[in-house]
Each structure stands twice: as C-alpha cells, then as structure tokens.
Amino acid sequence: MVNGARATNNNFTLDGVDNNESQFGQIAIYPNPDAIAEFKIESSVPSAESGRAGGGIISATFKSGGNAVHGTVGEIYQGRFWSAAASKFDDPTSPPVPNYVTHNYYGTVGGPIFLPRPGEGTPFFYDGRNRSFFFFSLNGQRNSTPIFGGTGDPQAVPVPTARMRVGDFSELIRPGTTRAYRLASGGTVNAPIGTIFGPNGVPIPGNDLRNCVCVRWLFGVRA
C-alpha cells in the first residue's frame, strides 16, 4: 500500500510501457527478478507522464546484454519434500495434508550479438561488443495442486462421470428437493435442485443434453 491507497490504485510500468491488468487493476506481467536491472517507486508528487494513480508509481526496467555472455538459472520448489510439514504426509494420526507440488523455474541469458563469417578462423562479420546486445528471460510454472471438490478428501479432484461424458447429467439432480425457477419467457416452473435449463429457458428433460435440440449434435444424436 502506498499513500494509504488500495493495491488496485497503483500504476505499473515495464520499460516505460503500461503494465496494468485492466480487470482487477493489478500488475499484468510479473517479470523474472533476475531480469530486472532496476525499479523505482514514486510515492508522492509523480511526474506528469506517470501521474495516473492515487497510489504508488512502480517502474521497472529490464536488463540488457553486455560484452560478455552471462546468465542465471534456478527453480523455486514448494511441495512434499523439504517442507516443514513433510512428516504429516505419512502420519496416519494427522489430518490429511494436501500434496501441493509447485515448480517455479526461471532463467536468463544475455550478451553481445555476433554474426559469423563463413570459413574457419575468419573474423566475425559483425562484432556487437560495445554496440549491440541481446537479452532473453524465461519464467514458467508447473504444478499439481489438487482441486477441492467438497468431498472432505483433500486429494479428491472432481471429474466428469461416464454418464456426464455422454451428456447425461441426471446425477446432478437432488431427489426430494424442489424449488421454483423463473423462466426467461415469463412465469415459473417447479424443478429439483440441480436442474439444467436449455437456451430457451426451459428445463432439459432428465438433465440429459441429448434431449436438447441445440446441443444433441455434439453427442452424435440426429434429429
């Protein structure tokens, strides 16, 4: 928080280019920390070109290559191994612990641009030292974080059943429950909780999409 404003009141730039995510007002691109040459935070009386937000002005600048080739590589691991709670995974007396496994990997490389000349031992066609440089940054993530499906089992991941994969969603209907649904065309209809409605606002019979003309072609059903 800067100037007592919310996080959505900040303005982010990267190499002088707007770096704001428009939907939530947060930073759009998170650059690799090893790729940042410098950053600056303006908290009061910003300059005219950056005075857009009531919070802070956070400006970051990418590195550029130099006369020698340099790079970094690394990974930030979060998961079962090397974790403070590692022993709880195998302890039957402990509550189930989700097996979060996240790999955040990154790498950078930069240096001068060389254009070789055909032939062995010949000088470079173009030597970019002190003139032209390149810089490359990569930042990625791979994870197997479980999705909580409300079953009480932290390792449970909800997936479509065999019937759902062919368009039959009758398993979603909760027997013995009824509520009034307002139709798009006016009026109401009483149907069990979990009922799926078609584009025309009418409940699909049996929650089976093969009974809906608008999507039955997806399941190979001809009219």
Strand partners, 209: none
Residue with structure tokens 């490389």? 109
In this structure, are strands 11-14 and 133-143 parallel, antiparallel, or unpaired?
unpaired
Q: Is residue 108 exposed (0-12), middle (13-18) or buried (19+ Cβ within 10 Å)?
A: buried
Judge whether 78 and 39 are in contact, CB under 8 Å.
no
pLDDT confidence of residue 71: 95
Q: Which amino acid makes up residue 190?
A: N
Residue with structure tokens 């031992």? 121
pTM: 0.55
Neighbours of 60 (CB within 10 A): 20
pLDDT confidence of residue 154: 53
Q: Which amino acid makes up residue 99?
A: N
Vertex 43: Cα angle to 37 and 47 (nearest 5):
80
pLDDT confidence of residue 87: 60
Compute mean pLDDT per 10 residues along the chain, 223 residues long, and list them. 80 91 86 92 78 83 92 87 66 67 91 83 81 93 65 62 88 88 80 83 83 64 52
